[in-house]
């Protein structure tokens, strides 16, 4: 391996684990009002979006992450018409939401306008024109503040934010108080979907805490996981609702809804994948069943120091 550190990007998976990515070219580096941002062309995963030294998505496998985050809640809901996205600067989450022909309105709220502009410039294949869709509304403000001040309700609320770091822009969007606000902004059959961090056996703090905190608010909480290579391994998500459960959907029902909604461009998700996502291995089921950290405004979770 070439020992020149300028030719390798270090993605810190945790305090104890670093993943190295070869750098072919640094396309952009800078700092917005809220966070550091880089666009790096890597040897294995194409272009990478890096925020505060953490990979947020890669050109090669972003479809796995974004379909896993968006499609299970969207397909679980029988008729999702209104969707709220917190974060999602690349526009790929918005892309997946708008792929459903049932959607009439998609509101995306990201605090960092500069990140969206940079992603539009360097990562156009992530959004694929979703920002120009007439059903899309994009606002540059704090997502929690937007929901608190508004009266609108949504069928689906998707939390596509970086992991919480101290003084970072997202840590107050993982708390019980925020999830209580989300619950008030969901329709009767509404669903929240949250990216919940690493599902690797030695790095479960975020995943278990998000799951436990959601359970303090919602009667139905379904954690799930899939492997995302550019993130360093298995990644966790949580889906929560007052009335709907994804585990009750059969393979055939999922495939039928995919067909009815003309979801023709899916590369990762289908009925069989849906069953696998929620079929967690025993060690994860046991760990998630234990009492965990309750994330609150007064006792937030920080995965990394800023």
Same domain? 101 vs 213: yes
Task: Look up tokens 């436990």; give the residue.
Answer: 212
pLDDT in tens, 242-265: 999 999 999 999 999 999 999 999
Q: Which SS3 state, helix, strand or coil, does residue 7 take?
A: helix
Q: What is the CATH number of the domain that holds 99?
A: 3.40.50.150
Same domain? 97 vs 228: yes
| Position 294 in a domain | no
Same domain? 44 vs 76: no
pLDDT in tens, 32-64: 998 899 999 999 999 999 998 889 999 999 999
Name the DSSP class of 219.
S
| Position 29 in a domain | yes
| Position 300 in a domain | no
Same domain? 269 vs 122: yes
| Position 305 in a domain | no
How many whole angstroms separate alpha carbon 141 and alpha carbon 144?
Answer: 9
Same domain? 155 vs 222: yes
Same domain? 279 vs 181: yes
Instruction: Residue 187: count other Cβ atoms within 10 Å of its Cβ.
Output: 17
Q: Which of 4, 11, 160, 270 is catalytic?
A: 160
Q: Given this model, what pLDDT does residue 306 score?
A: 42
> What is the rounded average pLDDT of the residues 237-241?
98
| 52 torsion bin: left (phi>0), alpha (psi -120 to 50), beta (else) | left
Residue 166, pLDDT > 70, answer no
53 as an active site residue: the answer is no
Q: Which residues face 139 on adjacent strands? A: 109
Whether 33 and 43 have beta carbons less than 8 Å apart is answered as no
Q: Given this model, what pLDDT does residue 164 score?
A: 62
Same domain? 24 vs 102: no
Same domain? 197 vs 240: yes
Same domain? 216 vs 246: yes
Angle between helical axes of 205-215 and 176-184 (0-180°, round to 10): 50
Q: Which of 16-25, 163-172, 223-232 has the lowest mean pLDDT?
A: 163-172
DSSP states of 65-98: HHHHHHHHHHHHSSS--EEEEEE-TTSHHHHHHH
Query: Which pLDDT band, with edges at 50, 70 and 90, does 170 fall under?
Result: low
Same domain? 199 vs 262: yes
> What is the rounded average pLDDT of the residues 172-196?
95
Name the DSSP class of 171.
G
Q: Exposed e or buried b for every residue in 86-106, given b needs 16+ CB within 10 A? A: bbbbbbbbbbbbbbbebbeeb
| Position 298 in a domain | no
Q: Which SS3 state, helix, strand or coil, does residue 226 take?
A: strand
**Which domain does 29 fall in, by range?**
5-56
How many whole angstroms separate alpha carbon 250 and alpha carbon 253?
Answer: 5
Question: Cα dihedral sign for 50, 52, 54, 56?
Answer: negative
| Position 303 in a domain | no
| Position 159 in a domain | yes
Non-local CB neighbours of 237 within 8 Å, separated by 6+ positions? 68, 69, 72, 193, 194, 195, 196, 223, 224, 225, 226, 277
Q: Which SS3 state, helix, strand or coil, does residue 18 take?
A: strand
Please, what is the average pLDDT of the chain?
92
Query: Which pLDDT band, with edges at 50, 70 and 90, does 145 fall under?
Result: very high
Same domain? 197 vs 223: yes
> What is the rounded average pLDDT of the residues 112-132?
95
Total tally of structural domains belonging to the chain: 2
> What is the rounded average pLDDT of the residues 103-113?
96
| 149 token code pair | 């001040």
| Position 140 in a domain | yes
Q: What is the CATH number of the domain that holds 25?
A: 2.30.140.10
Same domain? 34 vs 116: no
């Amino acid at each position: 391996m070439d020992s020149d550190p300028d030719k390798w990007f270090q993605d810190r998976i945790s305090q104890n684990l670093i993943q190295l990515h070869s750098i072919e070219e640094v396309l952009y580096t800078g700092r917005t009002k809220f966070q550091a941002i880089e666009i790096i062309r890597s040897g294995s995963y194409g272009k990478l979006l890096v925020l505060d030294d953490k990979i947020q998505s890669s050109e090669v496998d972003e479809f796995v992450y974004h379909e896993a985050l968006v499609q299970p809640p969207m397909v679980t809901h029988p008729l999702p018409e209104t969707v709220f996205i917190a974060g999602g600067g690349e526009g790929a989450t918005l892309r997946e939401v708008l792929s459903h022909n049932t959607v009439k309105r998609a509101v995306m709220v990201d605090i960092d306008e500069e990140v969206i502009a940079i992603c539009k410039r360097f990562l156009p294949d992530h959004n694929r024109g979703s920002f120009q869709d007439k059903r899309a509304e994009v606002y540059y403000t704090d997502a929690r503040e937007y929901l608190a001040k508004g009266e609108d309700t949504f069928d689906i609320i998707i939390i596509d934010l970086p992991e919480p770091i101290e003084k970072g822009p997202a840590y107050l969007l993982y708390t019980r108080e925020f999830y209580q606000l989300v619950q008030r902004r969901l329709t009767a059959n509404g669903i929240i979907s949250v990216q919940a961090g690493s599902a690797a056996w030695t790095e479960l703090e975020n995943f278990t805490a998000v799951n436990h905190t959601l359970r303090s608010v919602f009667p139905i909480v379904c954690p799930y996981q899939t492997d995302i290579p550019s993130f360093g391994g298995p990644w966790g998500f949580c889906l929560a609702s007052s009335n709907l459960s994804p585990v009750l959907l059969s393979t055939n029902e999922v495939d039928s809804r995919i067909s009815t909604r003309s979801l023709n461009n899916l590369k990762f998700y289908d009925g069989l994948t849906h069953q696998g996502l929620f079929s967690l291995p025993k060690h994860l089921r046991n760990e998630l069943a234990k009492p965990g950290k309750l994330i609150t405004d007064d006792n937030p979770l920080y995965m990394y120091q800023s």
